[in-house]
Structure 1
Amino acid sequence: MRGAIQIATLRGIPIRVHYSFLLVLPFLAWLFGLAMAGGIGPERLRGHPLVWGAGLAVALFLSVLVHELAHSVYALRKGGQVSDITLLMIGGVSRITRMPEGAKHEALMALAGPATSLVLGVLLRVGSVPLTAAGAEELGFAAAFLGGLNVFLGLFNLLPAFPMDGGRVVRALLTGWLGRVRATQTAAFIGKGFAVLFGLVGLFGVPGLWTPFNPFLLLIAFYVFMGAAGESREVLLQTLLSGLRVRELMTPRTSAVGAEDSLEEVDTRLRAERRRALPVVEDGRVVGLVTQEAVLRVPAPRRGQTRAREVAQPVPELTPETQAWDALREMGQRQLPQLPVVQDGLLVGTLTQEDLVRGIQRRELEGNQRNGPWGVGPRESHT
């Protein structure tokens, strides 16, 4: 995710913080500081309200991290694959690149996060009682306040607004009946409905509950709507590419540049061959990919002295037997226009975005002839 920096790794999962989190942190510190001062009383609060507010804001996002870790750990235990966890302005996102097999495990994985938040919230509320009784009134109030936020977080995520956790449970329950694609489309439709509702409430408010023009709720509405549309599209692409291997789509092109070639030479090759990227080869093995963008980022006077190896981007090793969906996912995550295909250590071809688009279009045409406009039949529930 662009604009995110890695701050830690837990159980092999990179933990990243998006810049939007840093933007909202001062606002939350101010808001929670007001709550502390109002709950304890300004004259009895030991310490500045902003310090307490900042501590609560950080504690809330740590709670969100625990929520996301619950999803990720369950996914890993059931054979899933987790790319990273990113903390955002509106919460956290676990990027699960391979779901656990079976709708049951997907539902349980979705429920793991809200269940963890609810348990954490109850423990904090219960723990606040002895803290207050012992005279640590500020800590007691902070624990109770944070506990309430966690309970709200758990309950809010259970709303059936796909791609929120409750919506993922709905998708899992519908998969056995409708198949994964239509189940996702149905859950996404429900999620978009909730997004519109969130947006209306965010704009006009609800007497006694929400004030008019609540920007935070508008952000949630935008996230839910775009997330529902994006995941629905992703599942459809995954289904269309199901069973296709790289060898069926790749272009058997072995053109490459040497690791010691200058960027002037690389630029000439890219222009002559009308390519957006070329594999970089050293001692017969692919060591990376050099893109047109990487070349243009180097000032023209320096391109004669800069070697391809210096700007080459590391790439995963695709083989002809790699699943096409895995290749598309790698290409998307790394934001690359193509990837080299290697067999027995030797370059045997390239797979480009255009190759994948052609494969998707061919599957759509085949599916239209067999099953109607979506190109998915009874086999979809097995993907």
Structure 2
Amino acid sequence: MRGNIQVLTLKGIPIRVHFSFLLILPLLAWSFGQSFQLAARAADVPPERLSGHPLVWGLGVAVALFLSVLLHELAHSVYALRKGGEVSDIRLMMIGGVSNITRMPDGARHEALMALAGPVTSLLLGALALFVHHLLEGTRSFNLSFAVFYLGSLNIFLGFFNLLPAFPMDGGRILRAVLSGWLGRVRATRVAGWVGQGFALLFGLFGIITGNFILLFIAFFVFMGAAAESRQVLLQSKLADVPVRELMGPRTATVEVEASLRELTEVLYGERLRAVPVVEAGRVVGLVTVEALRQVPVEKLAGLAVRELSEPVPVLTPDSTAWQALQEMGQRQMLQLPVTEDGVLVGMLSQEDILRGLELRELKESRRQGQGPWNLGGRGHESPT
């Protein structure tokens, strides 16, 4: 995935680090190092108790904090897996961590407990660190004692902050799960989104008054996250019961896995396609795109086989839902996917096909409600948040 590097796998879950993590790490190290110096001055600590440079200690706390965030996200993911959910990966980014849960556990109760697992983990880590700090009261190293105390305090803050009932934090998901029983998932998401955006506006106002740019950044992140979550759930509600067979286009030309890239070029440009399914013994084994082909120098086209550029594709059948297909496209950053039955190509589905089908469905719904064609989608044009 673009901008992400897979560093390890835990419990079968790929752990990826986004490049923004590498940007924020030195800034956090410097900021935490400043905290070490301020704390030492405030406590009037003698030089012999200040072991090591504050910047090194700051870097250590920053790395430990992100490891704590990883455990926070693992708690979400492991609970989801145990209750029948699916997790594609965990990403560590500038804003913290994100568990990409492609299928939620069934039932609002399990969704709430899954969301609660992360903050509880952070609070437990914080309590453990503060207990260790208590045990280190007699140590000669002020920096070691302060590092443990600082890490504990950060985890406690992280746990309580995530419990705020504001999307995209865990508290917003808990609120949505609680409201779903009365309002349904879509309306509950809208209400939780409104609450989240209300918190974001308060954060932003306080950030402006105090000149706290970090709080302004958090406010922007919360506001946009709340809106995005509402849009996603609204889209899911419209596409979850639409089978791929209603939206897919006809089957296209294919290319053999052992064919040369020059032959592939003739197929792509001759048929005016953006992607071609790759087949072996009549069964689809991958997909190759124009964008991938453009990265290959012209002089190498005749000497390389299609298998060199072929990307694996998920099993998408006519009975798969449009929502499942859209999720797969988003995760794999593909604009279209082949549709197969028993491995044999039966059609192609693109994002344009899904959006066109969504527009037609909204048009039918609006006309069923007695609205004119100029109000395409009816209520769909209202802000989903």
**Which of 356, 359, 364 is the matching residue for 2:357?**
359
1:194-213 mapped onto 2 (5 Å cutoff): 194-205=199-210, 212-213=211-212
CA shift, 1:64, in A, is 0.9
**Residue 96 (1) aligns with residue 101 (2):** yes
Match of 1:253 among 245, 251, 265: 251
Whichever residue aligns with residue 119 of structure 2, its letter is P
Displacement of 1:146: 0.9
1:133 partner SS: coil
**Percent sequence identity over matched residues?**
63
* Superposition deviation, residue 50 in structure 1: 1.3
Q: Distance in 2 between matches of 1:324 and 1:343?
A: 16
Q: Which residue of 2 aligns with 1:32?
A: 32
Could you tell me how far apart the structure 2 residues matched to 1:261 and 1:8 are?
34
**Aligned-pair distance for 1:374?**
4.0
- Matched to 1:311, the amino acid is L
Distance in 2, Cα, partners of 1:295 & 1:70: 40
Query: 1:370 offset after TM fit, Å?
Result: 5.0
Q: Give the residue type in structure 1 aligned to 2:52.
A: G
**Counterparts of 2:117 and 2:379, CA distance in 1:** 32
Matches within 5 A, 1:69-148: 69-148=74-153
Matched with 1:17 is 17
Equivalent position of 1:319 in the other structure: 317
Unaligned runs of 5+ in 2: 370-376, 381-385
- Equivalent position amino acid for 1:314 in 2: P
SS at match of 1:341: strand
Shift of 1:84: 1.0
Q: Is residue 173 of structure 2 the alignment partner of residue 168 of structure 1?
A: yes
Cα distance in 2 between the residues matched to 1:305 and 1:146: 55
Partner of 2:64: 59
Contact 2:261–2:306 (CA under 8 A) maintained in structure 1: yes
Hey, what's the Cα distance between the residues in 1 that align with 2:31 and 2:186?
Answer: 42
State how far apart, in whole Å, the 2-side matches of 1:42 and 1:92 are.
38
How far 1:288 moved relative to its partner? Answer: 1.0
Equivalent residues of 1:295, 1:311 under 8 A apart: yes
C-alpha distance 16-160 of structure 1, shift in aligned 2 (>3 A):
same
Aligned equivalents of 1:47, 1:242: Cα separation in 2: 56
Distance in 2 (alpha carbons) for counterparts of 1:299 and 1:140? 57
Aligned-partner Cα distance in 2 for 1:4–1:54: 21
| Distance in 1, Cα, partners of 2:305 & 2:216 | 48
Q: Is the alpha carbon distance of 1:180 and 1:367 closer, same or farther for their aligned partners in structure 2, counting shifts above 3 Å?
A: farther
TM-score normalised over the length of structure 2: 0.90
**In 1, distance between residues paired with 2:224 and 2:19?**
19
Which TM-score applies when normalising by structure 1?
A: 0.90
Determine the C-alpha separation between the residues in 2 that align with 1:182 and 1:274: 43
Q: Could you tell me how far apart the structure 1 residues matched to 2:94 and 2:352 are? A: 35
Q: Aligned letter for 2:159?
A: G
Shift of 1:330: 0.5
Q: Could you tell me how far 1:254 is from its partner in structure 2?
A: 4.4
Q: How far 1:80 sits from its partner (Å)?
A: 1.0
Q: How does 1:138-287 map to 2 (within 5 A)?
A: 138-205=143-210, 212-214=211-213, 216-287=214-285
Taking the aligned partners of 1:181 and 1:29, their CA distance within structure 2 comes to 41
The alpha carbon displacement at 1:194 in A equals 2.1
Q: Cα RMSD (Å) of the superposition?
A: 1.9
State the match for 1:381 in structure 2. none
Q: What corresponds to 2:2 in structure 1? A: 2
Q: Displacement, 1:19?
A: 1.3
